[in-house]
Chains A and B, each alone.
Chain A
Amino acid sequence: MRRIFDTGNAAICEGAIFAGCRVFAGYPITPATEIAENMARRLPEEDGFYLQAEDEIAALHICNGASLGGLKAMTATSGPGYILFADAFGWALSSEIPVVIINSQRVGPVSGITGAPGQGEFYLSRYLAHGGNYETIVLAPASVQEAFLLTVRAFYLSERFRTPVTILADQMVTDGWETLELPESEEEAQNMDLQRWERKVHPGPDFYPPTDAIDIPPVVLGHNTGGACSDWTPTLQGHDTEDFELHHKHAWRLIHKILSHRELIDDAEEWEVEDAEIILVAYGTPSRVVKSAVQEGRAKGLRIGGIRLISLWPFQDRLFKRKASYLVVELNWDGQLVKEVQRAARGSAVHFWGRCGELPSVKELLATAEQIKEGKTLSRDAWKTERW
């Protein structure tokens, strides 16, 4: 095992290369630039290709093209670049071409504040493609080590489900420095539960079967399989069609190939939830404050628990069936994750603690938990009044 001290950006690169990524196309943007810089240095050492794209639209399309030719590919960005991925994300999703997308969330809307963490793309990561009729996989690391592990997993899932997989990180995870352990042998990789999936070539002719099965290789061009691949609604052979029944079959596959195999995707950490009256909920960096708050709260005799979401989409409703008061902690002022928790935790009270750019403190979260326990209205300043 190689132990180094590095950033989440470097961890993501090492994860990608370990998983077999050989193409990275990107466009510089704070705070994801260092991912591109690391890939520019590392990929040529692995016979891989780093391209500085003309914009983020091109970046993901270049990755899609490389993947269509059989190379594993990744791109990375932040908010203003992420919105430009929409076009290519939809293409990969509907054409069922594996690709990995990193989004290091900063403060929005739009250009907002560059070098500070935000969590404003929770819903956008679910609905980045227009037109609906799909499910998608989104993972959220909370540490440098986990950025490595989840990047490896993102490639693994993208191959098995033949779909783009998104890593929704935040500026603190990608810019933060921590100890990072990297495997140096297959045995060490196995001990770390790292799984890889080799790219295989679909032999044809039925490239788009109407089934929820996974482990079907994607279309790979250049092997004269008659591979046909487009963003039009496909026939079984991948030809374009305007037939509603074929469209229904295609949509059904895009939705249910993911929903039928959630055991491969769903992931979360729970702390002291069994008897908790108040359960804090978060993902990414704020979840680390939540974990400390649970520990300190318990030490003070509070019946407090915590849930950290590691996979965000598809949403894990089953985690929110306990009768308790939920306090959802997010790095935004508008409350995004809280809306999903409200839906999933029907019957329980759901509260929101939001801030953008900087983390909550343990003290603040515990004070809020006390207020909830005492049935007080959650209000810090007049303009911060929570309406949840």
Chain B
Amino acid sequence: MTELTTKYLRDEKARGTSCPGCGLRPAHLKVLEAIDRLGISQADIVWGTGIGCSGRQTYATWKGDTFAGTHGRVYAMATGLRLALPPNKKIILTVGDGDAYTIGLQHLLNCARRNVGVTVVVLDNLGYQSTGGQYSITTPEGSVTDSSPRGTWEQNWAGSGLDILNVIKEAGATFIARHTVLQGDAVVSSLEKAIQNPGFSLVQIVYPCVSHFGVQALGTRNIPQVYTWFESYPLATGILQDSIGSRPEFSDAFRQQNKKVKKGNQDV
């Protein structure tokens, strides 16, 4: 327990539930650190989550208002929620790579297109780990997982020329960054920028799952060994897009549009 967790997390959830060596907990703490550095009060943040390791384990940890959506749909929910909340309230979503990039991609892209004021934090553990370790579109190519016993053979969206973040960029996201959980201060700094963006931000934080990916793909549960491999795993990291302020935020633009409409029931 640290000062950060005591300050921001619910007592019964403050300890975290991730497996030994998992990067989920340090990544989660980095979001809290960014909030703390920005000095945003608990009352001004609504925290939503998806499904999977990252969704389930971060749900209802935030002391303030919190919700969990169905798998992959939390971006659509946040779009509706954004219309109901005043502009000073921030929406932060912690989700997984499967939630954001596969099952929820349709809604994620439309959320980016609309420039909905929301910060999506993708806690990328390199596959579907809460179901025991199956490959996702961020699993390193060739990896053995429970659903790729001979190694993955399809091209992924994270390494060899195809990058999901380019798709999200083209969809209109106004801030995009990718980091590994090991990149310390750079991660917090990107998260600060993301949370301050009035529009749509996405920060992907990559870390290896030791319990499943480590055992299945790397053949070890040894935490230092897994992280030694991870340090050499090639990933394009840093801020990939920063066009904050270039497009109007969705709910703000919506209200401006509505102001142009003549009020009162004209006819039916």
Chain A residues within 8 Å of B, Cβ to Cβ: 2, 4, 6, 10, 14, 23, 25, 42, 44-49, 51, 53-55, 57-58, 61-71, 73, 87-88, 90-91, 95, 180, 182, 219, 221-232, 237-240
- Across the interface, name the chain B residue whose C-beta is closest to A11: B268
Cβ contact within 8 Å between A230 and B83: no
Alpha-carbon distance A44/B265, docked complex (angstroms): 10
Cβ contact within 8 Å between B268 and A226: no
Out of A58, A62, A221, which one reaches B85, CB within 8 Å? Answer: A221
- Name, among A54, A70, A180, A231, the residue most crowded by chain B CB atoms within 10 Å (CB to CB): A54
Q: Is the interface of A mostly helix, strand, loop or mixed?
A: mixed
Out of A51, A65, A182, A228, which one reaches B77, CB within 8 Å? Answer: A65
State how many residues of chain B have any CB contact under 8 Å with chain A.
44
Q: Which residues of A contact B261 (CB under 8 A)?
A: 44-45
Contact of B46 with A by CB under 8 A: yes
Cβ < 8 Å to A, chain B residues 25-73: 42-43, 46, 49, 56, 59-60, 63-70, 73
Contact of B106 with A by CB under 8 A: yes
* Total CB contacts across the A-B interface at under 8 A: 155
Q: Which residues of B contact A228 (CB under 8 A)?
A: 59-60, 65-67
Q: Is the interface of B mostly helix, strand, loop or mixed?
A: mixed
Out of B43, B77, B254, B265, which one reaches A68, CB within 8 Å? Answer: B77
Cβ contact within 8 Å between B89 and A222: yes
Cβ contact within 8 Å between B85 and A54: no
Q: Which residues of B contact A4 (CB under 8 A)?
A: 268
| Distance (whole angstroms) from the CB of A4 to the closest CB of chain B | 6
Q: Which residues of A contact B76 (CB under 8 A)?
A: 53-54, 57-58, 61-62, 65
Cβ contact within 8 Å between A64 and B80: yes
Out of B12, B68, B81, which one reaches A231, CB within 8 Å? Answer: B68
- Across the interface, name the chain A residue whose C-beta is closest to B262: A45
Using known A-B contacts A232-B68, A239-B13, determine if residue A66 contacts B73 with beta carbons closer than 8 Å.
no
Cβ contact within 8 Å between B84 and A66: yes
- Told that A67-B80, A228-B66 touch, could you supply 12 new A-B pairs with CB distance under 8 A? A45-B264, A61-B107, A62-B77, A68-B80, A68-B81, A90-B70, A95-B67, A221-B65, A228-B59, A230-B59, A230-B67, A232-B56
Cβ < 8 Å to A, chain B residues 229-268: 254, 257-258, 261-266, 268
Contact of B78 with A by CB under 8 A: yes
Contact of B79 with A by CB under 8 A: yes
Alpha-carbon distance A11/B60, docked complex (angstroms): 40
Out of A46, A73, A180, which one reaches B80, CB within 8 Å? Answer: A73
Chain B residues within 8 Å of A, Cβ to Cβ: 10, 12-13, 42-43, 46, 49, 56, 59-60, 63-70, 73, 76-86, 89, 106-107, 110, 254, 257-258, 261-266, 268
- Across the interface, name the chain B residue whose C-beta is closest to A59: B76
Using known A-B contacts A54-B106, A221-B85, determine if residue A227 contacts B65 with beta carbons closer than 8 Å.
yes
| Distance (whole angstroms) from the CB of B241 to the closest CB of chain A | 21
Cβ contact within 8 Å between B73 and A58: yes
Alpha-carbon distance A95/B77, docked complex (angstroms): 13
Cβ contact within 8 Å between B69 and A226: no
Cβ contact within 8 Å between A66 and B65: no
Alpha-carbon distance A168/B81, docked complex (angstroms): 26
Cβ contact within 8 Å between A65 and B79: yes
The 6 A-B pairs of least Cβ separation, nearest first, read A69-B84, A65-B80, A230-B68, A65-B77, A66-B80, A61-B76
Cβ contact within 8 Å between B66 and A227: yes
Cβ contact within 8 Å between A222 and B65: yes
Out of B77, B83, B107, which one reaches A23, CB within 8 Å? Answer: B83
